[in-house]
Chains A and B, each alone.
Chain A
Amino acid sequence: MKPSLAPYAFVAPALLLLLTFGVLPILVAVPVSLTDLNLAGLADWSRIGFVGLDNYRRLFADPGFWQALANTGIFALLGVPAVIVVSFVAALLLHRSENRFFRALRAFYFVPAVTAIVAVSLVWGYLYNTQFGLLNHLLSVAGLPPARWLGDPVLVKLSVVFVAVWRGTGLNIIIFLAALKAIPQEYLEAAELDGASGTRKIFSIVIPLLRFAFLFVAVTTVIGWLQFFDEPFVLTKGGPLGESTSMSLFLYQEGFSAGEFGYAGAGTLVLFLIIAGVTLPQVRARRTDADR
């Protein structure tokens, strides 16, 4: 039988789409970032001019860019450990029993993960509201002064991160639960016979055995924070004064609100290189670990 074209016909449509929206944009960003492409240039290509590395020079001199980069770093530093710790602890507790009550509880923890970020951000925005929000009312009941949840330059970061952590734990609880189920029961029983305490079992057996799950959650959460967009867009539009602007929100504002595609293209490439720099070592660590 001669080699058939069938496999190519099966894989071609999906691969074409993956290439078009996964790889091609990065390649397009390279030449675009060297031009002054804007809305006018998009309508009439003859008005696009080559500007060399000007966009990059401007980018590195732009306080807004550094602020967005720093914010994204802060978001990740706050959010990654929070997501990992909260979802691991919740999974550990949920794993304790298989009875119906525990199984029903799981659904509650999973639900935020499947709901629309736009909708839950509006709900949180309402809770955070300084005039008629529930949270400030609770503070006043407790005799505390009201907080400017979304108006204070420091607090706004925590408020925005909290919404994302609240929504982001569900998926990771599922992953940790599945990994916990896969731990051979004999290991834990043997440790128990040797007189190991509960905490000792967790730190000496469970956590080392779950290192793939931890690595996976860490990598996906880091990537998640680098693409952090919907929550600040809905809750704060990046404000006050850019204090909650993430890198992707910065790119959106430069690209679509200001219409400066060339400039935003340069930002895209810089962010892409950062993501590659952050994730490739982690993926390589996983691969060498798997080879062993």
Chain B
Amino acid sequence: MRTASSRSVTVAVGAVLGAGALLTAFPFLWMVFGSVKPRSESVADPPRLLPREPTVENYARLFGELDFGRYLGNTIAVVLISMAGVLLMAMAGYGFAKFRFRGRAALFFLVPATMMIPVQVTMIPAYLVLDGMRLTGTLIGIALPGLVSGFGVFLFRQFMTTVPTEMIEAARIDGAGEARIFWRIVLPLSRPIVAVQIVLAFIGSWNSFLWPLVIAGDERLYTLSVGLALLTRQIATSPSLQMAGSTLMVVPVLVVFIVFQRHIVRGFTLSGLK
């Protein structure tokens, strides 16, 4: 029953939500416009949203004077390594979904249990573990602690239980090896969840801060997040330079978010309800 009054309530709700959305988005607008202001404008009083003389000098400085080209490369390397984690989580999800084996219940109990202990809590001993493995000061060491999440394994398992067992059995009878069955049948049938996980792994590793900060050690291994956080310690820093660095970090994720919004929302939704 759609009455006129109910429609006007919807319009009012829409207006409130629109105002809220603008407030939410405003810091990003401030960031992007701030990134193309000359230094003098970025510290001017009164502050203005739009730059009077837009410039790309801040971006030029990030990649010229500062080493953000290298940080970008390191970030991309960490993102690529994290994709291997998606494969490992998919394998584990398949193992738990489609095999009956001794110790399965006990091992699967471990998966959500590890989700209760956040890395920020265990960073000191985890650093000592990585140090014992001689992995501090390496890109692998930066990526390794976040490579696999219990939540990811859990999602893969939930999805892969829906893959028809008959197809797997038929392939086995035809003499296909286990690795081949996984690669040729199970993974292609699980494309939706693989897409969700790839997008989440990209966002997580691109944004990751704690492990790059703790493990990198020296500047050659800084990722964008660490370079950006330590930008405040540079002598010749300015708000517009910081905004340029922030824009550099945020925009790729925004693009990925806009393109894959449905996948991301779906991934987050699954996280809440299963």
Q: Determine whether A129 belongs to the interface, using a CB cutoff of 8 Å to chain B.
A: yes
**Surface stretch bound by B, among A10-18, A75-83, A147-155:** A10-18
Question: Can you name 24 A-B pairs with beta carbons within 8 Å?
Answer: A3-B102, A6-B178, A7-B104, A10-B182, A20-B129, A22-B117, A23-B113, A29-B122, A42-B128, A93-B17, A105-B18, A107-B257, A108-B21, A115-B28, A116-B246, A120-B246, A132-B42, A132-B44, A132-B45, A177-B269, A178-B272, A228-B120, A268-B122, A275-B118
Q: Determine whether A49 belongs to the interface, using a CB cutoff of 8 Å to chain B.
A: no
- The residues in A between 180 and 219 inclusive whose CB is less than 8 angstroms from any CB of B are 182, 212-213, 216-217
Q: Which of B45, B214, B228 contacts A122 (CB 8 A)?
A: B228
A116 to B210 alpha-carbon distance, docked (Å): 12
- The residues in A between 223 and 266 inclusive whose CB is less than 8 angstroms from any CB of B are 223, 226-230, 233-234, 248, 251-252, 255-256, 261, 264-265
Contact partners of B228 in chain A: CB under 8 A: 116, 118-119, 122
- In the complex, the chain A residue whose C-beta lies closest to that of B206 is A116
Q: How many residues of A contact B (CB 8 A)?
A: 96
Contact of A115 with B34 in the complex, beta carbons under 8 Å: no
Contact of B243 with A216 in the complex, beta carbons under 8 Å: no
Q: Determine whether B167 belongs to the interface, using a CB cutoff of 8 Å to chain A.
A: no
Distance from A65 Cβ to chain B, minimum over Cβ atoms (Å): 14
- In the complex, the chain B residue whose C-beta lies closest to that of A267 is B124
- The residues in B between 125 and 164 inclusive whose CB is less than 8 angstroms from any CB of A are 125-129, 131, 144-145, 147-148, 150, 153
Contact of B120 with A248 in the complex, beta carbons under 8 Å: yes
Residues of B within 8 A of A (CB): 9-10, 13-14, 16-18, 20-22, 24-25, 27-28, 30-31, 34, 42-47, 85, 88-89, 91-92, 94-96, 99, 101-102, 104, 107, 110-111, 113-114, 116-129, 131, 144-145, 147-148, 150, 153, 178, 182, 203, 206-207, 209-210, 214, 224-225, 228-229, 231-232, 239, 242-243, 245-247, 249-250, 253-254, 257-258, 261, 264-265, 268-269, 271-273
Contact of B42 with A23 in the complex, beta carbons under 8 Å: no
Contact of B144 with A21 in the complex, beta carbons under 8 Å: yes
| In the A-B complex, the 6 residue pairs with the closest CB atoms | A22-B114, A10-B95, A175-B272, A7-B99, A14-B92, A108-B21
Contact of B25 with A115 in the complex, beta carbons under 8 Å: no
User: If the complex has contacts A116-B249, A123-B243, are A26 and B30 also in contact, measured as CB distance less than 8 A?
Assistant: no
Q: Which of A133, A166, A275 contacts B117 (CB 8 A)?
A: A275
